[in-house]
Structure 1
């Protein structure tokens, strides 16, 4: 299905929008200026920790971070929840990934990551579309069932902040961007851009990210 949306993402060749966000580890702020003129970087925009696909992707991207760094590319994840909520989560699930907090989705908006309009067609498709992100399940399953299955796998229990984030953010999509040392976007991946809702929860593979990063750093 085509996803009706209210924004268009930035394209390769365009300047990366500026941002200044609190660092999840409490070490001040993280900004585009930290990287511009110094190093290319991979920017991954997640939604709140209520999103089971995001929690899994954070772990996957963190595992790719050393290889990206070896290719000369830094990595930054932006998670859409308050810093203290993120700090609580990562206290028990530590990550090497550098993270910034953006509960109001200002970075998603600046980079034009689509937020579908929940039309009747969209809501029907949510009930009928089958997904299998990363081929984890024996066979594709409805989106809500896949989300529940991921939640059971990581034994995650939502808190009040998560529920408030979900009500404010849904159905925001996610996006990933490779930005060169001069601050220009060179590669873009937007959730559901190619396959509609069948691509929900699917993030680029480590090989895809590394291939793009090596081309950027060459």
Structure 2
């Protein structure tokens, strides 16, 4: 089992390729609150629902000083298609070797349809302005998670 992050832990830094051909570093967002969410695969029904929920909540999350970043093992070209198809308006980063997902405890064994499989564990991390984990949610549901997160953050 992969080690899971807890509130107060330092958020593992990363620099990863993005959907727009650039790179994004977590340290480059220092001084801002970041919602980093890990999802298994772009353009699948659950991941699309979750990304669209974040997109639809982005204005209010940004008004509360949160930046949103999605992370998956998809190649940047697939992330670009996902962004364009669903009008995703926040950065999507590519972790093809799954090193960052593993560092966050978001890659490993999970239950899927009653079987144990290895893959991305749908997770969300709230990182504070100093780069520390404020909250870590593992095994979240694709549908309804953003609404629950907003309540947990006191935004509703």
- 1:191–1:203 contact (8 Å) kept in structure 2: no
- 1:191–1:201 contact (8 Å) kept in structure 2: no
Please name the residue that 1:180 is paired with.
Answer: 128
Please name the residue that 2:146 is paired with.
Answer: 205
Please name the residue that 2:29 is paired with.
Answer: 35
* TM-score, length basis structure 1: 0.63
Max radius of gyration: which structure? 1
Distance 1:14 1:202 in 2: 27
Q: Number of matched residues?
A: 154
Paired residue secondary structure (2:92): strand
After TM superposition, give the deviation of residue 21 of structure 1 in Å.
0.4
Would the alpha carbon gap of residues 7 and 16 (structure 1) be closer, same or farther in structure 2, given more than 3 Å must change?
same
Pairing 1:15-164 to 2, within 5 Å after superposition = 15-26=10-21, 28-36=22-30, 38-49=31-42, 51-116=44-109, 125-126=114-115
Unaligned runs of 5+ in 2: none
After TM superposition, give the deviation of residue 112 of structure 1 in Å.
1.1
* TM-score, length basis structure 2: 0.85
- 1:178–1:213 contact (8 Å) kept in structure 2: no
- 1:191–1:202 contact (8 Å) kept in structure 2: no
Paired residue secondary structure (1:116): strand
Distance 1:63 1:79 in 2: 20
After TM superposition, give the deviation of residue 114 of structure 1 in Å.
4.7
- 2:106–2:121 contact (8 Å) kept in structure 1: yes
